[in-house]
Amino acid sequence: MQKITPFLWFDKNAEEAVNFYVSVFKNSKIENVTRYDEEGANAAGRPKGSVMTVPFRLDGHEFVALNGGPAFKFTEAISFVINCETQEEVDYYWEKLSEGGDKQAQQCGWLKDKYGVSWQIVPAGLGKLLSDPVPAKCQRVMKALLQMKKIDIKGLKQAYKEGL
């Protein structure tokens, strides 16, 4: 068991969202589904027998989804970063997670999926490009990055190499 587990609050579609996420990520599965009993349903204002929590794994990482009602919504203040090794991987996650989501994708690889969860789809080497000891290289990469919604690894590498 991992020490810290993200707990995601949904209104009433936690199981649907988890099924979606499990379909997108390899090495993923639903652990089980717990349902509201009479006492829990009364306390939460949810129907008895409806889905309460769905513990699941995404690429080996533990999460729990909760149907807690409409009191809280997801914001960009919390996001999940997917570190991608290739452009194909960036494209795959971008396409899958943005499907049905907020079409106003943010810059720098951020998107919001159809359940309101924010994701950052980034190349694994981005940190290295942005922390080069030559400030001009970092500035060129940042300038290129700020113009991108879905990240183009080739474009970042070209910006890095400019002026060499």
pLDDT of residue 103: 62
Strands 51-58 and 29-30: antiparallel
User: Is the confidence at residue 164, as pLDDT, over 60?
Assistant: no
Helix residue ranges per DSSP H, the chain: 14-24, 38-44, 87-98, 126-130, 135-146, 153-161
- The span from the CA of 64 to the CA of 24, in Å, is 17
Question: pTM for the whole thing?
Answer: 0.91
Q: State how far the Cα of 74 lies from the Cα of 76, in Å rounded to an integer.
A: 7
Q: Which residue has the tokens 């907020």?
A: 102
pLDDT, mean over the chain: 93
Antiparallel, parallel or unpaired: β 51-58 and 61-67: antiparallel
Q: How far apart are CA 83 and CA 119, in angstroms?
A: 11
Encode pLDDT of 104-137 as tens digits: 668 889 999 999 999 999 999 999 999 999 999 9
Q: 161 Cβ partners below 8 Å, 6+ apart?
A: none
CA 36 to chain centre: 27
Hey, what domains does the chain have and what are their CATH numbers? 1-70 (3.30.720.100), 125-161 (no CATH)
Chain centroid to Cα 84, Å, comes to 13
Give the tens place of pLDDT for each residue, 71-109.
Answer: 999 999 999 999 999 999 999 999 999 998 776 668 889
User: What percent of the chain lies above the pLDDT cut of 90?
Assistant: 89
Q: List CB contacts of 103: < 8 A, sequence separation 6 or more.
A: none
